[in-house]
Amino acid sequence: MIPLRSGIRAELSTGYPRNPMVLMPLGQATLEARLTQLEMDLFGEREMARRNEPTLPGIRDRVVRIVSSIYTATAPATGTQKQGYEIAANQFEKFLSGLRQLVTTDLPALEPELEEEFTLAFASSTAGQHVQL
pLDDT tens digits, 58-117 = 999 999 999 999 888 889 999 999 999 999 999 999 999 999 999 899 888 888 877 877
Question: What pTM was estimated for this model as a whole?
Answer: 0.66
How many whole angstroms separate alpha carbon 76 and alpha carbon 57?
23
- In the three-class reduction of DSSP (H, G, I as helix; E, B as strand; rest coil), residue 112 is classed as helix
Residue 25 dihedral angles phi and psi, to the nearest 5°: -60, 150
How many whole angstroms separate alpha carbon 14 and alpha carbon 125?
9
Kindly indicate the confidence band of residue 40, based on its pLDDT and cuts at 50, 70 and 90: very high
How many whole angstroms separate alpha carbon 112 and alpha carbon 106?
11
Are 58 and 44 spatial neighbours (Cβ–Cβ below 8 Å)? yes
Are 109 and 28 spatial neighbours (Cβ–Cβ below 8 Å)? no
